Structure 1
C-alpha cells in the first residue's frame, strides 16, 4: 500500500516538474520572438527567425507534454468512480490533443512548400487520423461510463431522503428498509434469505422457491 502511495506521489512530482518546464519553454520562446532582430532575420529565405524559434518552442513543449501526460495517468488512482473514468479516457484524450496540435503545427512548416494537391492529401490524412483517435476516445468513454454512472448514482442518493414508514407496533417513524424499529425493537421485516439454503426470497413468500423450506412468516410485519 505504501509503495503505491509513494509511486503515485513520485508520478505527481515528475508531472509537476515537466509542467513547470513546459511553461518555462513557452514563456522563454515567446520572449525571444519579441526581440526586434528576430522579426528581421530570415531562415532559408522563407521563415522569420521569430517564427522558427516559436515553432521549436512549441514542438519541444509538445514532446514534454507527452511524458507529462504519462506521469499524470500513472498518478491517477484506479479506485473506482470518477477517478477510474478519468484514468480510462486519459490516454485517448491525450492522443487526440497531440494529434490535433501536431498536425496544425507541422502544417505551418509545410504550407509554403505544398501545392493544392499536397494540401488536400495532408488535410485528408489529418482528418482520418483525428476521427480514428476520436473513435478510440468514444469507445474508452463507453467502456468506463459505468464508473461515472456509479458516482452520479451515489451523489443522487445523498440528495434523496430515505422513504419512511410507521412502526406497526409503536407508531414511530422508521425507514422503509429497516428490519427492526429503533424505538421499540419490533421486527418489521423478515429475512430476505432462506434459512435452509440461503437463497434470496421476497417478503411475502411462505416457502423457498429453491429448496422448499418453510420460511415461517405470514406478513412483513410479523414479530
Structure 2
C-alpha cells in the first residue's frame, strides 16, 4: 500500500516538473521570437528565424507533454468513480490532443513546399488519423462510463441530503409530518392513499386515466391500496 502511495507521489512530482519545463520552454521560445533580429533573419530563404524558433519550442513542448500525460495517467488512482473514468480515457485523450496539434504544427512547416495535391493528401491523412483516434477515445469512454454514472449517482445522493424535507400537517391531529409518509407518526391517521392499476398493479396517481406501464384504462377503476 505504501509503495503504491509512494509511486503515485513520484509520478505526480515528475508530472509537475515536466509541466514547469513545458511552460518554461514556451515562455523562453516566445521571448526569443520577440527579439528584433529574429524577425529579420531567414532560414533556407523561406522561414523567418523567429518562426523556426517558435516551431522548435512547440515541438519540444509537445514531446514533453507526452511524458507529462503518461505520468499523470500513472498517478491517477484506479479507485473507481470519476478517477477510474479519467484514467481509462487518459491514453486516447492524450493521443487525440497530440495528433491534432502535430498535424497543425507540421503543416506550418510543409505548407510552402506542397502543391494542391499534396495539400489534399496531407489533410485527408490527418482527418483519417484524427477520426481513428477519436473512435478509440469514444470506445474507451463507453467502456468506463459506468464509473462516471456511479459518481453522478453518489453525488446526487449526497446533494439530496442537503435538500430540506417537505413537511405537511396531519389532517387528523395537526402534527407536522413528512410529505411522503403514509401514516401520521403522532396519531396513526392515514395521510396518503396509493392507487394501483387493476391490470398490472403498477402505482398510479389518482387523476391518471391510463396506466403508464401497461396502458390499461383507469378512470375510477383504479384500486386504492391500504
Same fold (TM over 0.5): yes
List alignment gaps of at least 5 residues for structure 1.
Answer: 172-223
Please give the alpha-carbon distance, in whole angstroms, between the structure 1 residues aligned to 2:184 and 2:6. Answer: 51
Q: How many residues align?
A: 171
Distance 1:151 1:35, change over 3 A: same
User: In the alignment, what sits opposite 1:14?
Assistant: 14
Deviations 1:14-39 (A, max 9, x none): 00000000000000000000000000
CA distance in 2, matches of 1:146, 1:30: 43
Q: Distance in 2 between matches of 1:165 and 1:3?
A: 54
**CA-CA distance at 1:137 after TM superposition:** 0.4
Query: Residues 106-125 of structure 1, C-alpha deviation per residue, up to 9 Å, x if partnerless?
Result: 00000000000000000000
1:114 to 2:110 alignment: no
Task: State the distance in 1 between where 2:61 and 2:185 align.
Answer: 70
**Residue 170 of structure 1, CA deviation:** 8.8
Q: How do 1:1-223 and structure 2 match up within 5 A?
A: 1-160=1-160
Local SS of the residue matching 1:91: helix
Aligned in 2, Cα 1:164/1:75: closer, same or farther, shift over 3 Å?
farther
Tell me the distance in 2 between the aligned counterparts of 1:131 and 1:164: 54
In angstroms, what is the RMSD of aligned CA positions?
1.8
> What residue number does 1:203 align with?
none
> 2:181 & 2:71 partners in 1: Cα distance?
48
Rounded Cα–Cα distance in structure 2 between residues aligned with 1:127 and 1:28: 32
Secondary structure at 2:77 match in 1: coil
User: Shift of the alpha carbon at 1:154?
Assistant: 1.1
* Alpha-carbon distance between aligned partners in 2 of 1:65 and 1:144, rounded to the nearest angstrom: 24
CA distance in 2, matches of 1:165, 1:24: 66
**Residue 174 of structure 1 corresponds to which residue in structure 2?**
none
TM-score, normalised to structure 1, is: 0.73
Runs of 4+ deviating beyond 4 Å = 161-171
